[in-house]
Amino acid sequence: MADPTAVRRTPRAVADAPVGSLADGAVVAKAWLVALVEAAPLDAAAAVPAASLASEGPALCAAVLEALGSEAALDRLRRGGDRYVLAGRAAHLAGAGDPAGAVAALEALRTVSWDKLGADDAQLAIRLAHVCAVVLEAAVATAGVAAPAPALVPDPDPLPGPRLVPDPAPEVVIHDARSDGHVTEPWRAPIERRLDRQLQDSRPFSVLTMEIDDLERLLASATGREVVEAIEAAERAICNELRPADMLVRERLGRYWLTAPETDLASGRALGQRLGEAVSAAALHHGAPLALSIGLAVAPDDAIDAEQLAAHADEGLFAARAAGIRLA
């Protein structure tokens, strides 16, 4: 079995990152504000909330710089960490109201941070891109920044929690991370409900984990609109392959769970291959197709518990990525 921590290859912390006088974040926040205003059309420059960025931006930039050299500091920016709310404010501080704007804002933050660091260290550059991708994930997940894929239509109910697409379309659940912090994996609840129903009639049931490859690299290197358009195309391609009985859950940007009733091992593998081919055919970035790594678990053969099924599918995804194949 592949080691998940080895496969994910999270860029390691750079303990001697040359933060120095930048540690309080003020210099980087000021440069970020200037970059945002310069990048905006003249008639839209006033939409950048300078006062809010001046007030909260230094703390966010300081948190980003600290995370360069500390895994504990990076974890504080993730869901469940005490700086997750601050990270989620990144898009709002930049005046971004959609995923394209959020991606562009974090790219601007990455660029000015790198300029101010004045370093020439490939490992530090990779770590900075990773930290900014973590902040971007929080920003996109925060209420007020719309989900990127028009195929995933949210329910108008404003209450926190998953949002559903009504039948007869395939059921689509968007986990937007608007939880109270007590539920660590609310995206799993719909899978558990579907599994409970499906096991009552003893028919096979598949769970597929899908994740876009090299997403962090794409977010770090491309313009916001290019990344969002590619992800939108990938999600539309996935949705177009689903049956009304299937359910798609977006755990976070670029990572999905699919439950497929009446699907055994052979048909589950065929479905996974079809989804991967559809994404590669429909979603391009600079002319190169996006790729999915996919893991598969089948109930009742692999497990009859949602947590065990999810773990088995995740292991398959890691194994596929380690082996350089679409589906393990």
- Please tell me whether residues 186 and 319 are part of one structural domain: yes
- Please tell me whether residues 181 and 247 are part of one structural domain: yes
- Cis before 300? omega within 30: yes
- Please tell me whether residues 137 and 172 are part of one structural domain: no
Q: Convert the pLDDT of each residue in 124-149 to its tens digit.
A: 888 898 898 888 888 877 644 433 33
Residue at which a domain ends, from 78, 111, 141: 141
- Please tell me whether residues 199 and 96 are part of one structural domain: no
Confirm if 259 and 246 have CB atoms less than 8 A apart: yes
Q: Domain limits at 222?
A: 163-323
Token output for 185: 């994996």
- Please tell me whether residues 224 and 278 are part of one structural domain: yes
Res. 65: pLDDT tops 70: yes
Phi, psi of 296, rounded to the nearest 5 degrees:
-130, 135
- Please tell me whether residues 298 and 216 are part of one structural domain: yes
- Please tell me whether residues 51 and 130 are part of one structural domain: yes
More confident position, 9 or 165: 9
- Please tell me whether residues 189 and 317 are part of one structural domain: yes
- Please tell me whether residues 101 and 168 are part of one structural domain: no
Highest mean predicted confidence (pLDDT) among 73-77, 89-93, 105-109, 153-157:
73-77
Q: Convert the pLDDT of each residue in 8-25 to its tens digit.
A: 456 788 999 999 999 999
- Please tell me whether residues 172 and 304 are part of one structural domain: yes
- Please tell me whether residues 168 and 105 are part of one structural domain: no
Q: Give the pLDDT of residue 126.
A: 84
Query: Across residues 296-305, what is the average pLDDT?
Result: 87
Q: pLDDT confidence of 219, banded at 50, 70, 90?
A: low
- Give the total number of structural domains in the chain: 2
Highest mean predicted confidence (pLDDT) among 137-141, 171-175, 214-218, 311-315:
311-315
Q: Give the pLDDT of residue 173.
A: 57
158 located within any domain: no
155 located within any domain: no
Res. 225: pLDDT tops 70: no
Could you give the CA distance from residue 149 to residue 234 in angstroms, rounded to a whole number? 9
269 located within any domain: yes
Distances (CA, A) of 316 to 4, 28, 191, 295, 303: 10, 41, 18, 4, 14
Beta bridge partners of 171: 247
296 located within any domain: yes
119 located within any domain: yes
- Cis before 168? omega within 30: yes
Residue at which a domain ends, from 110, 141, 172: 141
Confirm if 299 and 263 have CB atoms less than 8 A apart: no
Where residue 249 sits, what CATH number does that domain have?
3.30.70.270
Q: pLDDT confidence of 59, banded at 50, 70, 90?
A: very high
Query: Across residues 217-243, what is the average pLDDT?
Result: 77
172 located within any domain: yes
Percent of the chain with pLDDT over 90: 21
156 located within any domain: no
Q: pLDDT confidence of 154, banded at 50, 70, 90?
A: very low
Percent of the chain with pLDDT over 70: 76
Q: Give the pLDDT of residue 165.
A: 36
- Please tell me whether residues 44 and 134 are part of one structural domain: yes
148 located within any domain: no
pTM of the model: 0.49
Task: Work out the angle at residue 304's Cα, subtended by the Cα atoms of residues 302 and 305, and round it to the nearest 5 degrees.
Answer: 110
Q: pLDDT confidence of 69, banded at 50, 70, 90?
A: very high
Q: Give the pLDDT of residue 139.
A: 84
